[in-house]
Amino acid sequence: MTVAFMRNKMVEVEPLPTGNLAVYWRLSDDLIDVDMTLTFQLPDLEIVDAAAHVRRSPHREGVKAGEVIRKMIGVRVGGGLRKIVRGLMGGDGGNIDLTEGVLECCNAVILNFTLPGIQEFEKYTYTTEEERLAPVRAMLQANPRLYRSCVAFAEDSPIVRGLDLKGGVS
């Protein structure tokens, strides 16, 4: 027996005339068919509108599953985003497809701002290790809570060397 399964997924960021960003996301496969549109208000990146249409779903709520997306209004792209989105969408017992869709929309917004900078960064050729690490150190200095959050930012990491992140009272 041959099992055939096809999945299509897309996400698109569109600047609106109001200055906001609309993110359109669609997932379609043999079990699920859902699309959502989230509108993000700049500069705070707050979700000011959210709609989802579920045409096919294996989840218990069926096509009514999209109603839960309204809980996303007021959530901002920022610290604690994953925890907040997953919590509001019902956690492990919630609609995982929609939850991941919201997070992918937020990720698309982040990429919309970060990708051009990252691409520029990757084009640059460095002559010394110090020069290569300088932008990462600047990023860590601007986000001190990342210090000791992973091995790359551990106390004995070359990235952390020379940074004053402990004493910190300014």
Torsion angle of C-alpha atoms 80, 85, 90, 91, degrees rounded to 10: -50
Name the residue nearer to another protein (CB basis): 31 or 111: 111
Q: Least distance in Å: CB of 129 to another protein?
A: 23
CA–CA gap between residue 130 and residue 97 (Å, rounded): 43
CB count within 10 Å of CB 160 equals 20
Contact status, residue 88 vs residue 72, Cβ threshold 8 Å = yes
Please enumerate in sequence order all residues whose Cβ is within 8 A of that of 48, keeping only pairs 6 or more positions apart, or say none.
20, 39, 40, 41, 73
Nearer to another protein, 46 or 49 (CB): 46
| Ranges within 136-155 binding another protein (CB under 8 A) | 141-145, 148
> Distance between CA 128 and CA 54 in Å, rounded?
53
> Which residue among 13, 76, 107, 136 contacts another protein (CB under 8 A)?
76
Q: Judged by CB under 8 A, does residue 19 bind another protein?
A: no
Binding residues among 33-62 for another protein as defined by CB under 8 A = 42-46
Nearer to another protein, 5 or 124 (CB): 124
93 part of the interface to another protein, by CB under 8 A: no
Task: Return the number of the residue (117 or 158) whose C-beta is nearest another protein.
Answer: 117
State how far the Cα of 25 lies from the Cα of 15, in Å rounded to an integer: 15
87 is a contact residue toward another protein (CB under 8 A):
yes
Tokens found for residue 168: 């910190």
How many residues bind another protein (CB under 8 A)? The answer is 31
The residues that touch another protein, with contacts defined as CB under 8 A, are 42-46, 71, 74-76, 78-80, 83-84, 87-88, 91, 110, 113-114, 117, 141-145, 148, 166, 168-170
